[in-house]
């Protein structure tokens, strides 16, 4: 672990408070993995012997119990949210049955409390099963060989991959995120199981899968994850239209467009569903409106284009459903692309509520497709003006929704 990396003060305070209350408590999972890799963690998850009710009693109004399938506690400190889970053991088949005629394999409930060691072995991958005690000189507790797997860059399941992925098919997507984010390699048995069980990802609720996809678009390794999922046959069950694009000669251009967004995210770019979803579906919508177009050529306007774009967005995202508000915002971000290309109506365009996110998409297209400066320079001053106005309106910034 890099010595100059320091644990977040809020996480340290929560762990200390729980330990002083007599509960064994550790930093767990991704944060420990990142520390070992010399990366500053973005999120701090904490596990403890305290039940959710006991955590709530200790922290009072700053703590909130959430979830039914997997009950955890969120503790709010300033603008940060810390996730506190209770150590769990693997439930029996009878305990995890949640429906009539259930075979007890897919986990519908997971709230059987256990020891730290039991908790480690019920996690998905060895690289995510490490604990760290910041009150004991950052001691690492490794029950599963995770330290060596991280050093070797291997994604290894804890237990039989077929069983672990059947319990929760989303674990297959998490495996591909490890491949994309850290350049890890799949263990041979893990890769085989994902290829065989990829269709089972559709057993997960559409709402949960869609949230996983949205979270992916907010990370600076979205392009690499989409490519990794495509390579093992998982993407066709997550985003079939994206998978179809990656089977064509336009795959490189599409991934370059997403990679440009990844770079912007790594530099602190605004996060918005309107931008993320418009970015994903741009080429699909472009082909729907202009079937003979080259990537980035845009389209001509016509009567009823608003409805046509909305319908194309819905088809692209099927079987997922988005709210009418988000759908309308994605539509507007896409429709503004023609105004940028035509270089007309600048005053009206820059006053549009979605100007900022439409500009980000246009800029990503320009960068990834290597457009000339003449196409983007006329709009740069407008974006700067919009940003200055936004800063004046937000003198007292608050945490915003990413809708």
Distances (CA, A) of 39 to 34, 226, 241: 5, 23, 34
45 catalytically annotated: yes
In the set 8, 34, 110, 124, the catalytic residue is 124
Helix axis angle, 170-182 to 188-197, nearest 10°: 130
Q: Which residues contact 43 (CB under 8 A, 6 or more apart)?
A: 30, 31, 83
Which tokens belong to 213?
A: 């996809």
287 and 244 Cβ atoms separated by less than 8 Å: no
Compute the half-sphere exposure of residue 223: CA atoms within 13 Å on the CB side of its CA: 19
71-84: burial string, b at 16+ Cβ within 10 Å, e else: bbbebeeeeeebbb
110 catalytically annotated: no
Alpha-carbon span 380 to 3, nearest angstrom: 42
Compute the half-sphere exposure of residue 375: CA atoms within 13 Å on the CB side of its CA: 19
Alpha-carbon span 327 to 184, nearest angstrom: 36
Residue with tokens 């050093």: 151
306 catalytically annotated: no
Alpha-carbon span 152 to 90, nearest angstrom: 27
Phi then psi dihedrals of residue 45, to 5 deg:
-100, 145
Give, rounded to a whole angstrom, the gap between the first and last alpha carbons of the chain: 36
Q: Which helix (H) or strand (E) holds 337?
A: helix 324-342
In the set 8, 45, 168, 187, the catalytic residue is 45
Which tokens belong to 216?
A: 């992916």
Task: Write the DSSP symbol of residue 401.
Answer: P
SS3 (DSSP) at 154: strand
Task: Write the DSSP symbol of residue 61.
Answer: G
Residues identified as active-site: 43, 45, 124
């Amino acid at each position: 672990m890099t010595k100059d990396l320091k644990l977040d003060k809020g996480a340290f305070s929560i762990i200390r408070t729980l330990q002083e209350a007599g509960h064994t408590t550790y930093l767990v999972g991704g944060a420990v993995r990142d520390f070992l890799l010399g990366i500053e963690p973005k999120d701090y998850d904490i596990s403890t012997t305290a039940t959710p009710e006991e955590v709530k009693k200790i922290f009072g109004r700053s703590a909130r119990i959430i979830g039914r399938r997997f009950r955890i506690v969120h503790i709010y400190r300033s603008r940060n949210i810390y996730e506190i889970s209770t150590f769990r053991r693997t439930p029996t088949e009878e305990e995890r049955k949640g429906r009539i005629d259930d075979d007890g394999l897919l986990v519908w409930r997971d709230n059987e409390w256990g020891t730290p060691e039991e908790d480690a072995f019920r996690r998905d991958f060895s690289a995510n099963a490490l604990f760290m005690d910041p009150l004991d000189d950052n001691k690492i507790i490794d029950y599963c060989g995770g330290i060596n797997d991280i050093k070797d860059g291997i994604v290894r399941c804890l237990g039989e991959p077929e069983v672990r992925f059947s319990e929760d098919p989303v674990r297959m997507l998490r495996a591909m995120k490890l491949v994309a984010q850290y350049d890890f390699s799949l263990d041979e048995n893990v890769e085989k199981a994902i290829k065989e069980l990829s269709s089972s990802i559709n057993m997960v609720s559409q709402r949960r899968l869609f949230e996983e996809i949205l979270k992916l678009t907010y990370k600076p390794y979205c392009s690499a994850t989409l490519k990794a999922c495509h390579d093992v046959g998982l993407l066709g069950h997550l985003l079939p239209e994206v998978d179809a694009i990656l089977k064509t000669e336009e795959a490189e251009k599409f991934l370059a467009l997403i990679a440009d967004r990844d770079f912007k995210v790594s530099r602190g770019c605004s996060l918005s569903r309107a931008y993320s979803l418009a970015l994903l579906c741009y080429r699909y919508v472009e082909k729907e409106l202009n079937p003979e177009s080259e990537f980035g050529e845009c389209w001509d306007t016509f009567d009823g284009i608003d409805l046509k774009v909305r319908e194309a967005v819905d088809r692209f995202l099927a079987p997922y459903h988005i709210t009418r508000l988000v759908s309308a915002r994605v539509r507007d971000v896409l429709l503004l692309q023609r105004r940028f290309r035509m270089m007309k109506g600048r005053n009206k365009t820059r006053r549009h509520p979605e100007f900022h996110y439409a500009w980000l998409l246009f800029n990503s297209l320009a960068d990834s497709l290597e457009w000339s400066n003449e196409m983007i320079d006329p709009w740069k001053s407008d974006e700067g003006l919009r940003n200055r106005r936004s800063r004046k309106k937000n003198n007292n910034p608050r945490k915003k929704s990413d809708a």
